Amino acid sequence: MNIGVLCIQGAFAEHITIFKTLGINCTELRKKSDITDLDGLVLPGGESTVQGKLLQELDMLEPLKEKIINGLPVFATCAGLILLSEELTNDKNVYFGTLPICTRRNAYGRQIDSFCKTTDFKGIGSFSATFIRAPYIEKTGNGVEILAKTDGKITAVKYRNQLGLAFHPELGNDFRIHKYFIDIINENTRNNIHY
């Protein structure tokens, strides 16, 4: 198994550390030519506007979008969720636009307003979630499964091959959500699909 982790900006190193701890090979995606032979993709937290701009400048946006549309499993956290969103309530930009949700950027305020909160994650149970300048999902489209709500706000969803979280599961020692993503990839791999 080989998971590509977008490494152009943000909290990518923590995801790589977790997957390596779980015995999974990771490819650091820094340029277009790195996008090959992937079983999964991680879009990490960070600054979504910067990531979106760099994805376009590096000519990585369209090749990755095509893979996602064709079924490549993708795990997006915080800024990554914003990149996947079909619509943003407080930003005119749309990046991948493959996940039929409407998301609010920086919904909880600035960095100083960061917090941890226990949330119930469907299929996993109680999970301590870290929110840093986090978005939340205001509405979901057809076929989107809500996996977690935090204080009544939607903070995790699954749609086909796409797993989107408003929080940072990589900041801690609980690897269950990363294992959940590995299970999604394994299900995909059983169908002999490689990207």
3-state secondary structure of 106: coil
Query: Closest Cα partner for 165 from 145, 183, 182?
Result: 145
Please indicate, yes or no, if residue 96 is contained in any of the structural domains.
Answer: yes
Q: Residue 151: inside a domain, yes or no? A: yes
Q: Tell me the longest C-alpha to C-alpha distance in the chain.
A: 45
* pLDDT, tens only, 107-119: 666 655 577 999 9
Catalytic residue, from 7, 15, 168, 178: name it.
Answer: 168
In a domain, 149, yes or no: yes
Give the tens place of pLDDT for each residue, 48-107.
999 999 999 999 999 999 999 999 999 999 999 999 999 999 888 899 999 999 998 876
Specify the CATH number for the domain of residue 17. Answer: 3.40.50.880
In this prediction the pTM is: 0.93
Amino acid (1-letter code) at residue 23:
G
Question: Is 15 marked active-site?
Answer: no
pLDDT, mean of residues 150-168: 96
| Structural domain of 42 | 2-190
Q: How confident is the model at residue 189 (pLDDT cuts 50, 70, 90)?
A: confident
The catalytically annotated residue of 7, 14, 26, 78 is: 78
Number of domains in the chain: 1
The confidence score (pLDDT) of residue 125 equals 96
Summarize pLDDT for 125-149 with one digit per residue, the tens.
999 999 988 899 999 999 999 999 9
pLDDT at 99: 98
Catalytic residue among 7, 14, 15, 170: 170
Whether 22 maps to a domain, the answer reads: yes
Identify whether 12 is part of a domain. yes
Active site residue 26: no
Query: Considering the domain boundaries, does residue 195 fall inside one?
Result: no
Specify if 148 maps to a domain. Answer: yes
- Picking from 86, 145, 85, the residue whose alpha carbon sits closest to that of residue 121 is 145
In a domain? residue 69: yes
DSSP E strands, 45-193: 74-77, 85-88, 99-104, 115-121, 125-131, 136-140, 145-150, 153-159, 162-165
